[in-house]
Structure formats: C-alpha cells, structure tokens
Amino acid sequence: MKLDFDMHNLEVGQNISALANDVENAGSQDDLLALINKVKHHPGPLDYRFRHWWILVGFLTVCGLLAGYAFFTVLAYSMGFYSLPLAGAQLEPWLLPLQLSGHWAPALLVAGIAFWNSEQGRPFQVFSSFSAAWQGPLLVGCVVLALTFIPQWQYFYWVGLQTLAAWISPFDSLSGYGDPGSALTLMMLIAAGWLAYTLRRQANWRDRLSDRISERDALFNNGLTEMDINGTQEAASLLKRFQDFRRGNDDRKVMKLFHGYFDGEQQGFAYRVCQYRYSVRTSSTYTNSNGDLRTRTTTKTYYRHSLLTTLNKSAWVGISADSKKRFDGVKYKSDDTSFNRQFRCWVESAPQAEEFFTQEMQQLLLEIAAQTDKPVLEILNDGSLCLSLNNDVLALERRNSLEDPDAFAKEIAAHNELQTLNDILRLIGRLRLLQGIDLSRELE
C-alpha cells in the first residue's frame, strides 16, 4: 500500500522552512534578491496538496448543518411549528451519520491529528508495508474506533454532549433539556472552520514570507538591526523606567526591538525603536434568558511604538498629548493656548520648566504632535528620552510578492526608506540640538 501525497506535503513544508531560514540568515539586500531568484527557479515542490483535507472540511460542514437542522426542528416542534419541509420520519435517514458520531468522530479526530503530524514530519512507522505517514493514523484510528463500541463510552459521549449543550445553548430552556444537536452543530462547524483557516494560511505561505523579506529589506535600507530579546522581560524593564509603558492591565510585551544610528545633517545619534503590545481586560455582568447572572470578560489588544535615545540634560520632563496618560510632578502651562490644548506637561520644578519650554521647544513639540498620533514624551534624570506614539513607524507598504518574483525583486532592489521613522528621528535630532547634545554619550 503506497500513499505518497502525504510525503509531498512533508517535502513542501521542508522546502518552505529552508527558504524561511535563508531569509533570517540574509546579511544584505543582495542576499534577499538571490533568495527571490531561488524561489523563482526552485525545483520544488512548493505548493501543498490539500484535497484530502478539503474533503474532510466538506464532510464536517455537512454534518454540522444536518445537526443544526435537526436541533432547530426539535426546537420548532416544541414551539408548535409542524409544517417543516423535512421532519419526523423523513429526517431520520439523514441523521444516521450523527447517530453514529459516537463511533466515527473520536476515531476521525485522533486519526486526523496523527496524519497531520505525519505531514509535518513527525510520523511513526509500525509496519513496513504501509507508508510511514499513514501507519500512525490508521493504527490509532482503528484502536479508537474499537474502543467506541464499549457501552460506557457511548454513555459518556452523549451525556457529555447534553451537558455541553445545556451550558452553551440559550435555546435549551425552551426545549426543556440539553439537546446534543446544538453541541454537535458547534463542534462540527468550529472544527470545519478552524481546519479551513489553517489550510488557507499554509497555502498562502508566499505572502507571509514576502512580508518578512520586505521587513528585512527595510531594516537593511534603514540601518536597523533586530535585537534578540525576551519580550515580556523587556516590557517589564521599560515599564520600570518610562511611564508610557504602564498601559493595560493584562498582557504586556515588547514584540520587536531594533537598534540603529541616525546620521543627520548636523548630528548623528544612536537610538532604539520598539513595538509594544498591551492588553486591557474588562469584566461586566449580565442576565441570561433564564434570569441567571453571568459575567462576560473581554480583552482588547493595542500597539504602541517607542523611540529611545539620550540627551545631555538631566532634568525630568513628562509631556503627553494622550488624554489617558498623566504624570506625577509639577504641572506646567504655557502662555500659548494652542500648546495647552495639545499637551499636558509636568516637570520637577517651576524654574526647570522655564528653561525647557522655550518658544522654539514648544513649536517643535507642536510639529511632533502634527506628525504623530497621541505622542507621549518623557525625559529622565539620567538624560534617557522615550517618545511613544500610536503610529507604526516600521510600516512599509508591499506592492508585490513571491507570486510574481520578477516584480518583487524590482521592488526589493529599490531603496525603500521608512519615511515616518526618519521624519520623527529628524524631529528628535532637532530636540537634541535645542537641549544641547553630548556626542560622547550614545545609547547602548
């Protein structure tokens, strides 16, 4: 027995992994162009064969729709609707696959997981007459199928579905019991949807790899080097120093951190730029259809980008154009009403405020606000500066992909600058000049 399309998908996955490693190991734009050319002339295979998995998606979808129809038929009868086009005895033959789901569903689930692992390069071989990738799925599938004929298994399977249905379905209070049809409907359709999403995502690997090539090219063109960090620990470290990182009440993580050197017309300085993710979790109570009090928890995720460098001045300043971010300290108000409408400012002492908030500095800060979204600037006593904003300063629009290697190579060969990042760095450079710079100090 020889079934080799599973080996085809395994080989495709290995080829794609090798290409992804080449992207990460690229040391220049020329390396990226060579990689694109490699994809163009790659002997393959580079395209998955997922027909067998799409058949499974169709089967699960049909079973889910049948289970849903059966459930709503029972619900309709309980509410006095008897004129459905397919009901009662006419519906019974269509429900046979669902009635037998206690046998085939567990076996199919276990066999599917084993077969997926085989395609991902994790097969185990028992009999030499079978394809290595099929032995595991066939063996465990048959064993689980045999176990489902134990009476106790069927009892726990259906009782479990009824319990799940009573917990998730708002309609079961109408029919008077936990109808397993609602649980089967959700299980089948969720499984089909998840599998379809996974298949499409894997099939579209060229888009994801193109994004990474474009990102690496932007780093080369703009003199940025990605730093190897622990995102959670880095977020905790920055949170201790800069107050803008004290956002959210759940997950906080630095997703990416880069260091570079900005070579301006009047000065150059080292800097870091990071992408920061934080989450806000909220809980609310509501009453369901049975009058029971329930709690609903929602989590929203947000992103900020921060630029970090150093100044020669060592007096603390906090400046916020975000109404949600406040600092502790002496509040400063300018004589310029337009500046006060845009910013709220805090300093350590009133004399320090007069020294820092010169007319030129206020004009520069207004320019920063005009070019960014909700900027927050903080300068620490040791001269460390952090400018945080909602703008994605690392964004670079990609117009082509590996689907068209020639056009993509031309796009990569062009010198694409991160214009937003460079514009903000120029403003920071002007701020450093206004404050007086110490060229011997550079951000590590």
**pLDDT tens digits, residue range 384-419?**
999 999 999 988 888 999 999 999 999 999 878 888
Find out whether 266 and 276 touch, Cβ atoms under 8 Å: no
Reported as a single tens digit per residue, the pLDDT across 197-224 is 999 999 999 999 999 999 899 989 888 9
Tokens 């008077």 belong to which residue?
176
How far CA 362 is from CA of 61, 267, 275, 339, in Å, comes to: 61, 21, 27, 7
- Specify the range with the lowest mean pLDDT, choosing from 32-41, 169-178, 325-334, 374-383: 169-178
Reported as a single tens digit per residue, the pLDDT across 222-232 is 889 999 999 99
pLDDT value of residue 157:
76
Reported as a single tens digit per residue, the pLDDT across 59-72 is 889 888 877 777 66
pLDDT-derived band at 99, boundaries 50, 70, 90: confident
| Per-domain boundaries in the chain | 50-203, 213-435
Reported as a single tens digit per residue, the pLDDT across 253-267 is 999 999 999 887 777
Q: Does the pLDDT at position 178 exceed 70?
A: no
CA distance 253 to 234: 7
DSSP per-residue codes, 34-57? HHHHHHHT--S--S---HHHHHHH
pLDDT value of residue 320:
92
Instruction: Give the whole-number percent of the chain exceeding pLDDT 90.
Output: 39
Q: Does the pLDDT at position 105 exceed 70?
A: yes
Q: Does the pLDDT at position 87 exceed 70?
A: no
Residue 89 DSSP label: G
Instruction: Give the whole-number percent of the chain exceeding pLDDT 70.
Output: 80
